Amino acid sequence: MTTEAKVGAFVLGCFSVLAFTLIYLINAQLGVHSVPFRTYLRYAGGLEPGTSVLFGGINVGKVTAVRPAASDPSRIEILLDVKDNTPVNEKSLAKLGLVSVMSGAALSITTGSNDAKRLLPGSTIPSQEAASLDEITAKMAVVADNANGLITEARGELQGISGDARGLLANLNSVTGAPNRRKIREILDNVDAMLATERPKIDRLTDQLGALSQHADETVQNVNGTVSEMREPARKDLAELQDTLLEAKHLLADMQVIVRANDYKIDDTIENLRTATENLDDLTESVKQRPWSLIRIRQPEDRKVPK
């Protein structure tokens, strides 16, 4: 095969690969269905037709038109096409975003909520305004002005603090001067001498405190032993007392039942006692008036008055 034939075959192969690639891309482009949406912003920030549309950071479509809204020219109407399987819902928000730090502007759509209703094609996506560069610049200018005032105020306060610090250093120098150092040395020497003199007493006092602590420990142990010894008998006595109280409770319950069962007999007995009491009262009164009735059956005749 000649060189011209090889070159021709290579060129034909390249054209074939290029044609296959173009056909594949066209088919892929035609096979992707997109649905239209729209949204409105006060500040478009460099959006133009062909700008990427991001859904949760994923590229899902392109901006098709950017123009002032017919009903309200103060707002910018943005038309966009996204893939038909993009779950844009009522909680989704459209706002100005960036694909990356180094790239241009993009239209970003939040994912919203899984429970929210899906938006129909052609619907308006709710928007969230982003701060423009002019607003950011104005806020930075306000912050800079406030910072200048704060710096000026801080300088004045720092000067006052510096003066106070100088006065404090001067006072420290006067306090730590040679006379005061000599006095402090004399005090420390006196303290050392006092400690050397009183050390035997301190040692004895420490020994006495140790012995007292040991005695207190022994006393506490003895008390604990006594309490432990008395705990079991006291527990038994309490158990027996509880049993006795239960028995007394049962006895009172039985007596209450008996009293209720013999309630009518008790009433009869009380009535008989009342009648007997009245009879005794009558007998007592009769004996008081006629004491001889205890001996004689008949009452004696009245004595006649002598003539």
Residues 58-78 have pLDDT tens digits of 899 999 999 999 988 889 999
Examine the domain organization and report whether 119 and 44 are in the same domain.
Answer: yes
Please check whether residue 85 lies inside any domain of the structure: yes
Examine the domain organization and report whether 216 and 243 are in the same domain.
Answer: yes
Please check whether residue 218 lies inside any domain of the structure: yes
**Rounded alpha-carbon distances, angstroms, from residue 53 to 134, 146, 204:** 24, 39, 91
Examine the domain organization and report whether 143 and 116 are in the same domain.
Answer: no
Mean per-residue pLDDT of the chain: 79
β-bridge pairing 94-98 and 105-109: antiparallel
**Integer Cα distance of 52 and 106 in angstroms:** 5
| Mean predicted confidence (pLDDT) in 127-133 | 74
Query: In sequence order, what are the beta bridge partners of 96?
Result: 107
Please check whether residue 212 lies inside any domain of the structure: yes
Query: In sequence order, what are the beta bridge partners of 97?
Result: 106
Examine the domain organization and report whether 109 and 50 are in the same domain.
Answer: yes
Examine the domain organization and report whether 38 and 88 are in the same domain.
Answer: yes
- Asked whether residue 239 carries a pLDDT value surpassing 70, the answer given is yes
Domain range for residue 194?
185-248
**Integer Cα distance of 211 and 205 in angstroms:** 10
Cα 123 from chain centre: 43
Examine the domain organization and report whether 44 and 124 are in the same domain.
Answer: yes
Examine the domain organization and report whether 141 and 163 are in the same domain.
Answer: yes
The total number of structural domains that make up the chain: 3
pLDDT-based confidence at residue 30 (cuts at 50, 70, 90): very low
Please check whether residue 287 lies inside any domain of the structure: no
- Asked whether residue 261 carries a pLDDT value surpassing 90, the answer given is no
Please check whether residue 228 lies inside any domain of the structure: yes
The phi-psi region of residue 56 (left if phi > 0; otherwise alpha if psi is between -120 and 50; otherwise beta) is left
What DSSP assignment string belongs to 56-108? TTEEEEEEEEEEE-SS-TTSEEEEEEEETT---BTT--EEEEESSSSS-EEEE
Contacts of 65 (CB under 8 A, 6+ apart): 49, 77, 78, 79
Please check whether residue 305 lies inside any domain of the structure: no
Examine the domain organization and report whether 137 and 220 are in the same domain.
Answer: no
| Mean predicted confidence (pLDDT) in 127-148 | 73
| Mean predicted confidence (pLDDT) in 258-278 | 77
In the structure, how many helices (H) and strands (E) does the chain have? 4, 6
Examine the domain organization and report whether 239 and 157 are in the same domain.
Answer: no
Helix (H) or strand (E) holding 40: strand 34-41
Look at 88 and 3; give whichever has higher pLDDT: 88
Examine the domain organization and report whether 121 and 135 are in the same domain.
Answer: no
pLDDT per residue as tens digits for the range 174-188: 767 777 777 888 888
Examine the domain organization and report whether 41 and 109 are in the same domain.
Answer: yes
Please check whether residue 11 lies inside any domain of the structure: no
| Mean predicted confidence (pLDDT) in 101-123 | 86
In the prediction, which pLDDT does 26 show? Answer: 61
Please check whether residue 285 lies inside any domain of the structure: no
pLDDT-based confidence at residue 54 (cuts at 50, 70, 90): very high
pTM value > 0.85 = no
In the prediction, which pLDDT does 9 show? Answer: 74
Examine the domain organization and report whether 123 and 40 are in the same domain.
Answer: yes
Last residue within a domain, chosen from 232, 248, 264: 248
Give the residue among 42, 63, 43, 44 at the shortest CA–CA distance from 52: 63
